[in-house]
Amino acid sequence: MEFLHYRDLAKTETEFPISVEWGQGRSIFGGLTAALVLVHIESNHDLTGRDLRTVNIHFCGAVIAEVPCEFRHRVLSQGRSVTQIEGQLLQAGEVKTEIVACFTSDRVSAIGIDFPAKQFPVAVQDTSEMAFTFKQGSAPHFVGYFDLRQTNDNLPFTGSDHSLITGWMGFSKPSETLNDASILALIDAWPPAILPMMTSRAPSSTITWNIEFMHPRAALEVEDLLYYECIAIQAGHGYAHTEGKIYHPNGQLLALSRQMVGVYDKVT
């Protein structure tokens, strides 16, 4: 089942299982679970006139495939211009994914700063042959639902001397314009930026994740791909901190992404 199937379920249902085809290691893909909690929040609260500004995500435990997932939410605060809502995915009564989403309405301000438009090193029209082709056993099944086109050769587990990952991203069968929930899923489809520096295969897992969305922003078209770049800014003692930027195809900054990743390259 593709992302939109589960997205539509989360709009109307408060409990349903997720197929094993979205598995990643022993857990369901975190980008999907975070996106579904966000969809649950947005579908159960009137947010007319408010934009999603930040999402803070905690992956508290493995989400097991084919086991019912329960979705809950509660409003933490609601003011004239800022609303903060907590959402959770639970299994067997235990919180597995938790997010706090902050929605804002526009206010009058004299301060305005625009991030410089990105000059892409490789244009999207030059990347058609770079699209990842899913091969059974080479990557989790769900990766086949995404159109990922890495524009540098910094591949996971190659012992690189740097961590930068860059590329264009979208869904393999786009049918509607990207929104905040679908962008969340896309961002997490990339491997953690620490993996290129590792010399052999080993597990890694995102523990916390923060996304900040920029507003106002230009409209997107159904066929648009977004540009992604991410780098590890610090690592040590089994944890890494990564920082990413996501761009509109016109070069406008759309989002900032920060993750703390657990790295399990040494067995003790």
The pLDDT tens digits for 190-238 are 999 999 999 998 888 999 999 999 999 999 999 999 999 999 999 999 9
d(CA 57, CA 80): 24
Domain assignment of residue 190, given as a range: 115-268
Whether residues 63 and 119 fall in one domain:
no
Indicate if 130 and 250 belong to the same structural domain. yes
Same domain, 94 and 153: no
Examine residue 110 and state whether it is found in any structural domain, yes or no: no
The residue type at 40? H
Copy the structure tokens of residue 202: 């080993």
State both tokens at 30.
């975190």
Quote the number of domains for the chain: 2
List the chain residues with pLDDT less than 70. Answer: 132-138, 267-268
Domain annotation covers residue 259: yes
Q: Give 139's DSSP letter.
A: B
At 202 the pLDDT is 87
In a domain, 244, yes or no: yes
- Where a domain ends, among 105, 123, 139? 105
Nearest alpha-carbon partner for 53 in 169, 237, 221, 217: 217
Last residue of a domain, one of 105, 127, 152: 105
**CATH number of the domain that residue 189 is part of:** 3.10.129.10
Chosen domain end from 57, 84, 105: 105
Residues 80 and 175 in one domain: no
